[in-house]
Structures are given as structure tokens and as C-alpha cells.
């Protein structure tokens, strides 16, 4: 670099006699700037290397203790870059796992604090949806969902491995002779929001006897044109994890389940979700006031 500076000084002293000299000056100036830049980079590298891997690891641990995860990760990346073969670089793998675990715990605690708003949510066991009045019974969580009982027998569905059924008996009273019925949904509490896990199946609670279940005879107790009140069972299959999480069971204040009749089905009468059924995949506390009713909060103690 010293020789380059001397050459440039000489050219300046003796003057620029032609274009070739001017070009040489430009080239030498550029070379000087390049050397300066390289010199600065070398200086920075030397400064970085003066900070040994052992001290860097100590600083990383301090940052993690203080929950300064972003800064700790920057230090980890720099340590690995400068001292890739060091034992401290290998130790960084352990420190990153500690960061990950601490971040999970912090996030879980933040979600728990946000979810506390739902702890004060009041349950409504009687819901009115236009011409229908619904009375909701006790919810249970089990491996099976029972319905369509007759005499001392009943039908049931068994949940898959790792799953459970959440179910309840409900009673619907209607002023309509062929009413559409509302849908029930299970929402998982996640922070300050509810996330829909699915809709409940609606089944008849019981039949007069096996013959009416088969459709050989009509069952007036399961026909709104003959009676105003019919008992039903609702059930939903969810994972064990969801079944043990804080859940809000919600009745959508919208009558859209339709009655189906199939002479060769067992039973011949059923209800299914029809066209026009709408719901929100996520809800806030304020959203619940707009067309929803919280009929039960399961696992409230985990909030």
C-alpha cells in the first residue's frame, strides 16, 4: 500500500502530462480505496477474534437467562461463523433448544392470560332461536356416543384411537310443525380467540320401539307435526388433546338443519345441515354477542 501511495504522490508532483497519466491516477486511487476497505475488514475481523468463543458462550447464556432470545441467536450465529470447530459452537445446539423451550413456555403463558377473559363467560342452558326453544342437558366426554335408544337397547358410535366423543342430551320445543333446527359447534379457546373444531351431529335420543326405529310404524314422539317437544342427542368426535382443553360449546342462533326421510334407512328420519348454514371459524368475546350462545364451557379449570 505504501508503494501505491508513493506512486500516486509522484504523479501529482510531476503533473499530469497526458491521458495515460490521468488513467493511472484513477486506477491508483481506486486501488487505494480498495486497500483501505480490506484493511478495515481485517481490523474488524481481528477485533472479533479478540472476543474468544468461551466469553461469547457466557454472554449467550446471560442473554437467554434475560429472555433476550433474538440477541442470543445473533451471538450464536457469530460464534459458529468465527469458531466453527470449537466446543462452544457445539454447545450452541443445547442453547438453541433452551431458547425454543423458553419461548414455548412464554407463549403458553401469554395465551393463558389472554384466555382468562373467557373464564367469566356465562353459560346459557336454555336458548331461543326464533320458533325453537332448546334446553341443553349435561355434557359428557367418553369413548362412545349413544343415541337412538329403544326399550333397553341403544345404538352408539365409538371414537377412533386417540379420540373422544363429547355429547349431551338436548330437548327442542318448536311452534313450527316442520322446523329447521340449529347447529351446535365446539370451539377451542386459544388466547383471546375461539377456534372452531367442528359441528355436532344431531341424532334422536330414543324411539318408541324397534319397529318405529326401523320405520315400520311412525313414531309420533319424534315428529314435530304430532308433538311440540322432541329429545335429541348431540355428539362430536375430537382428539384427546382437544377433549381435555378449554372448550366452549356454542349454539348458532340460526335454524338451518333440515329433516330428511328415507324409507329404507335406519332410522328413516334424520336431520342434516342444509344450505344456508353459516358460522365463523374464529370468534372473539364480542363476536359471541352476534348470533351465538355459549351453552357450556368444558375444562374451565384449565383457563
Using pLDDT thresholds of 50, 70 and 90, give the confidence band for residue 181: very high
Using pLDDT thresholds of 50, 70 and 90, give the confidence band for residue 122: confident
Higher-confidence residue of 138 and 290: namely 138
The tens digit of pLDDT for each residue in 64-77 reads: 998 899 999 998 99
Residues 24 and 158 in one domain: no
Mean pLDDT of 86-105: 91
Handedness of CA 242, 243, 246, 249 (dihedral sign): positive
Using pLDDT thresholds of 50, 70 and 90, give the confidence band for residue 8: low
Mean pLDDT of 99-107: 90
> How many domains does one find in the chain?
2
Residues 150 and 104 in one domain: no
Strand partners, 196: 187
Residues 164 and 289 in one domain: yes
Residues 237 and 259 in one domain: yes
Give first-to-last CA distance, the chain, whole Å.
70
The pTM is what?
Answer: 0.67
Residues 28 and 125 in one domain: no
Give the domain-ending residue among 78, 113, 148: 113
Q: Which domain holds residue 146?
A: 121-302
Contact 127, 295 (CB under 8 A): yes
User: What is the Cα–Cα distance from 145 to 235, expressed in whole angstroms?
Assistant: 6
Mean pLDDT of 12-40: 62
Q: Please check the confidence at residue 10 and state whether its pLDDT lies above 70.
A: no
Residues 158 and 252 in one domain: yes
Q: Please check the confidence at residue 9 and state whether its pLDDT lies above 80.
A: no
Give the domain-ending residue among 113, 140, 170: 113
Alpha-helical segments (H) within the chain: 2-14, 19-49, 53-65, 69-82, 87-115, 210-214, 240-243
Of residues 145, 124, 302, 303, the one with CA closest to residue 232: 145
Using pLDDT thresholds of 50, 70 and 90, give the confidence band for residue 131: very high
pLDDT at 97: 94
E-assigned strand segments in 143-228: 144-150, 153-158, 163-174, 181-190, 193-199, 201-204
Using pLDDT thresholds of 50, 70 and 90, give the confidence band for residue 49: low
Residues 148 and 262 in one domain: yes
Computed over every residue of the chain, the mean pLDDT equals 87
pLDDT at 83: 85
Give the domain-ending residue among 65, 86, 113: 113
Amino acid at each position: 500500500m505504501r508503494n501505491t501511495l508513493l506512486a500516486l504522490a509522484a504523479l501529482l508532483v510531476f503533473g499530469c502530462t497526458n491521458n495515460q497519466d490521468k488513467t493511472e491516477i484513477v486506477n491508483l486511487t481506486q486501488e487505494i480505496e480498495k486497500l483501505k476497505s480490506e484493511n478495515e475488514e481485517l481490523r474488524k475481523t481481528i477485533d472479533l477474534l479478540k472476543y474468544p468463543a468461551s466469553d461469547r458462550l457466557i454472554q449467550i447464556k446471560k442473554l437467554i437467562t434475560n429472555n433476550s432470545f433474538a440477541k442470543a441467536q445473533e451471538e450464536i450465529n457469530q460464534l459458529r461463523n468465527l469458531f466453527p470447530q470449537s466446543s462452544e459452537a457445539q454447545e450452541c445446539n443445547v442453547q438453541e433448544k433452551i431458547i425454543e423451550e423458553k419461548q414455548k413456555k412464554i407463549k403458553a403463558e401469554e395465551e393463558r392470560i389472554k384466555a382468562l377473559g373467557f373464564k367469566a363467560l356465562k353459560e346459557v342452558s336454555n336458548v331461543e332461536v326464533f320458533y325453537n326453544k332448546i334446553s341443553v342437558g349435561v355434557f359428557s366426554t367418553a369413548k362412545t356416543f349413544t343415541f337412538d335408544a329403544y326399550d333397553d337397547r341403544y345404538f352408539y358410535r365409538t371414537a377412533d384411537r386417540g379420540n373422544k366423543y363429547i355429547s349431551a342430551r338436548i330437548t327442542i320445543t318448536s311452534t313450527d310443525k316442520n322446523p329447521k333446527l340449529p347447529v351446535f359447534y365446539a370451539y377451542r379457546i386459544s388466547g383471546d380467540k375461539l377456534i372452531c373444531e367442528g359441528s355436532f351431529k344431531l341424532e334422536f335420543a330414543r324411539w318408541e320401539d324397534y319397529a318405529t326405529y326401523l320405520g315400520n310404524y311412525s313414531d309420533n314422539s319424534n315428529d314435530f307435526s304430532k308433538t311440540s317437544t322432541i329429545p335429541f342427542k348431540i355428539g362430536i368426535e375430537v382428539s384427546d388433546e382437544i377433549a381435555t382443553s378449554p372448550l366452549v360449546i356454542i349454539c348458532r342462533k340460526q335454524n338451518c338443519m333440515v329433516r330428511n326421510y328415507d324409507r329404507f334407512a335406519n332410522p328413516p328420519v334424520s336431520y342434516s345441515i342444509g344450505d344456508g348454514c353459516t358460522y365463523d371459524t374464529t370468534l372473539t368475546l364480542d363476536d359471541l354477542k352476534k348470533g351465538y350462545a355459549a351453552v357450556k364451557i368444558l375444562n374451565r379449570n384449565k383457563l
